[in-house]
Amino acid sequence: MKIKIATGMLTAFAMMSQAHAAEPAACQAPTFSDVGWTDISATTATSAILLEALGYKPEIQILSVAVTFESLKKGDTDIFLGNWMPLQEATQKPLVDAGEIEVVATNLEGALIGYAVPAKSYEAGLKTYADIAKFKDQLGGKIYGIEAGSGANGTILKMIDEDMFGLGGFELVESSEQGMLAQVQRAIGSGNDIVFFGWRPHPMNVRYELEYLSEGNDVFGPEDGAPPS
């Protein structure tokens, strides 16, 4: 059985290599966008390694989400593996409807995005989106997000602007994923409360004891940020 599987894999590899050789030169060096999120960096790097094994010469570009979609539209970038839906729908859907970009497949199901807090904060009563305002003093009136221009930060800013869940007096601290998680680590290490934008899968869910807030009225998508399957 093992030999047959191995032979089948080698045969498939040979067939794909032959197909690759017949492709136009422009298709042999695909470009990826990596927006700097750990999970997307991992999947992008893995995909590039697989393509290299098939004889391609992939290139990975470090771009913001906004620049990524514009680059896809212009044809300067070929592949983006971090299209979180429905969070990025406002940016993605018009381009898809206009035929300027194409959604090829869903590469992950069962993911989750939304507000996250340390387990200690959750146990203290910070369990829902409406609870955030009750903890304003402990939180220093701040919510920590990722890079400026991201769909996540746009959603958070809308909540603040519209005073949803009583967040009108809060400040969004925009940073990189790494900067945000550094702040999370400091808060957990000192026993302080913090609300930040989290997502799963991501190493943060293993590195820290976290809980995701509930009753968010689907602001980050159905089922409090769980994308539809």
CA angle 27, 30, 35 (to 5 degrees): 160
Contact 195, 141 (CB under 8 A): no
Residue with tokens 């590469």: 107
Residues carrying CATH 3.40.190.10, the chain: 2-97
User: Looking at this protein, which amino acid is placed at residue 124?
Assistant: A
For the domain made up of 2-97, give the CATH fold: D-Maltodextrin-Binding Protein; domain 2 (3.40.190)
Residue-wise pLDDT for 80-129, tens only, equals 998 888 888 888 999 999 999 999 988 778 889 999 999 999 999 999 99
Residue-wise pLDDT for 172-222, tens only, equals 999 999 999 999 999 999 999 999 999 999 999 999 999 999 999 999 988
pTM over 0.95: no
For the domain made up of 112-224, give the CATH fold: D-Maltodextrin-Binding Protein; domain 2 (3.40.190)
The residue among 100, 104, 57 whose CA lies nearest residue 80 is 104
Residues carrying CATH 3.40.190.100, the chain: 112-224
Q: At what angle do helices 65-74 and 89-97 cross, to 10 degrees?
A: 10
* Strands 31-34, 79-80: pairing kind: parallel
